[in-house]
Amino acid sequence: MTQVTINDETQQIFTVKLVRVQPGIYGGGIELQDTQDAAELLSGYIHDDASETLVALFMDTQNRVIAYRRMFSGTINAVEFSPREIMQTALLCNAARILVGHNHPGGTTKPSPEDLHSTDVLIEAGQVLGIEVVDHIIISSTGKFASILDQRLIEAGYTGVAS
């Protein structure tokens, strides 16, 4: 029989870290019926921000928002984000689906090549973890929006919020 010795290093593996949840992280069960619903919700958070801000909506399998969170802030024309941190929050919320959105303070809703690439990376991370990324919505300073999914820029097989 093998004897297991628990030392400080082994003990760290089993330590649970409690964190204080930031205000505004819970979504209150808002149910999203379609892309328009998601865009309206996102627009309320970020359409008038002076710099690009990325918000993530964490949902259950019925498209009810479990939580939302302002994840990253950028500059006037770019926001970089970490799929790792988005997925970490999704796992902590027990989310089945994620929808991300960010604003374009300059007024355009056209996704940049960086927006498309970042979306692809996020989708790949979600596939590994079994978390569906349903869309990436861009909100302009005028309140108009564009869905990368609706523009058919996400691979076939992603059915979006309405599925």
Alpha-carbon separation of residue 96 from 20, 74, 92, 126, 127 (angstroms):
22, 27, 11, 10, 11
Per-residue pLDDT of the chain (163 residues; tens, 9 = 90+): 566 566 655 555 555 565 555 544 556 678 899 999 999 999 888 878 888 899 999 999 999 999 988 888 888 888 888 899 999 999 998 999 999 999 999 889 999 888 888 999 999 999 999 999 999 999 998 889 999 988 765 555 545 555 4
The answer to whether 67 touches 27, Cβ cutoff 8 Å, is: yes
CATH class held by domain 24-147? alpha beta
| CB burial of residue 51 (10 Å; 0-12, 13-18, 19+) | middle
Round to whole Å and give the CA distance between 73 and 67. 18
Q: What share of the chain is helix, strand, coil (3-state, %, to 5)?
A: 30, 25, 50
Does the pTM surpass 0.85? The reply is no
